[in-house]
Amino acid sequence: MDRDVTVALEPAAEASPRPLALTPGEDLLGFVGAYLGRALLLVVTCTSVLVVFLILVFVVLRSVPFLGGYDLTKFLASQDWRPTADDPSFGALTLIVGSIYVSVAALVFAVPVGILAAVFLSEIVSWKVRNVVKPVVEILAAIPSVAYGFFAILVLAPWLQEHFGFTTGTNALNAALILAVMALPTIISVGEDSISALGRELREASYSLGATRLETVVKVVIPAAHSGLIAAVVLGMMRAIGETMVVWMASGNATQIPHPWWDLSQSIRTMTATIAGEMGEAPDIGGVSHRSALFAVGVILLLMTVVLNVISEYFLSRAKKAAGKT
């Protein structure tokens, strides 16, 4: 080794050619640039927020005549939805229950399958397989819902009728199954992300203490990813509860609450399907009318999704925090 070789750096300039203080011109330019940039971003952000806000205001405003003039307890607690009768009655309970009913039923199918699939993709299969399967699953989310609706009517409904002896194939079970399939991509994708984000260290810690793969998944991986998994489920539920076309086509649209409650073979009707189906024929007259009643239903739907959104945001931010700390 030749130790005499030294790497010579250019000597530093005596007086620095680049002054450390800003000139007044640079100062002004920087100030204006930062100001303009911020202003531009603010305008863009405000516009999109404003649009969402305006839609909200519009829906709420149009529902005000109804909410002000109609008995609220009757609206929320009565099962009597006869908007076009001579003596109209606007009891929305069957619709509210219908929406929750199919969404929850869909989740009962989708959550175990979705979380197992997320665990499978992130824990069991190789990286290569995961990189093929995950995008394919995510494509399921891009199929238009009317296509799912066709499938519900033309394939699933006859199949259910034939194999289970249901009186009608378009019923709560049909809608719930299709909604479950539609919620799966969200649950799998968000769930897989939150499990993969955990990193190898945590699993190594578990294995090094003599845990099996099952013990590691159940005791370490899933608890550590629980915030993200809950958020995944809530996002999937939002997808289900806001879905219109599929439930309109698949649920049978009967304004009734299934009796007994667990009988999924009965037809039901959701808030979304009701609004979509009846809005066109509801005349735009003032006061308590069919149309303003539909807007009131829309307000309930909005409230429900806002609450779900807040819940999912809460858990997602917790998941992010947990991932940042580990």
At its nearest, how many Å lie between another protein and the CB of residue 220?
A: 6
Among residues 97, 115, 195, 224, the one that binds another protein under rule CB under 8 A: 224
Task: Please list every residue from 160 through 219 that binds another protein, using CB under 8 A.
Answer: 200-212, 215, 219
Alpha-carbon span 207 to 204, nearest angstrom: 5
- Closest CB to another protein among residues 207, 314: 207
At its nearest, how many Å lie between another protein and the CB of residue 5?
A: 14
At its nearest, how many Å lie between another protein and the CB of residue 119?
A: 16
Q: Which of 238, 228, 241 is nearest to 309 (CA)?
A: 238
At its nearest, how many Å lie between another protein and the CB of residue 319?
A: 11
- Closest CB to another protein among residues 275, 319: 319
- Closest CB to another protein among residues 198, 234: 198
At its nearest, how many Å lie between another protein and the CB of residue 219?
A: 7
Six token digits for residue 284: 């735009």
Q: Which of 62, 75, 88 is nearest to 290 (CA)?
A: 88
Residue listed under structure tokens 């009597």? 80
- Closest CB to another protein among residues 80, 215: 215
At its nearest, how many Å lie between another protein and the CB of residue 199?
A: 9
Report if residue 317 touches another protein, rule: CB under 8 A: no
Alpha-carbon span 35 to 211, nearest angstrom: 56
- Closest CB to another protein among residues 112, 199: 199
Report if residue 322 touches another protein, rule: CB under 8 A: yes
At its nearest, how many Å lie between another protein and the CB of residue 122?
A: 13
The count of chain residues that interact with another protein, using the rule CB under 8 A, is 23
- Closest CB to another protein among residues 317, 326: 326
Half-sphere exposure at residue 68, Cβ-oriented, CA atoms within 13 angstroms: 8
- Closest CB to another protein among residues 127, 262: 127
Task: Please list every residue from 117 through 136 that binds another protein, using CB under 8 A.
Answer: 126-127
At its nearest, how many Å lie between another protein and the CB of residue 209?
A: 4
Q: Calculate helix-pair angle for 93-119, 226-242, nearest 10 degrees.
A: 140
- Closest CB to another protein among residues 150, 207: 207
Question: What does the binding site for another protein look like in residue numbers (CB under 8 A)?
Answer: 126-127, 200-212, 215, 219-220, 223-224, 322, 325-326
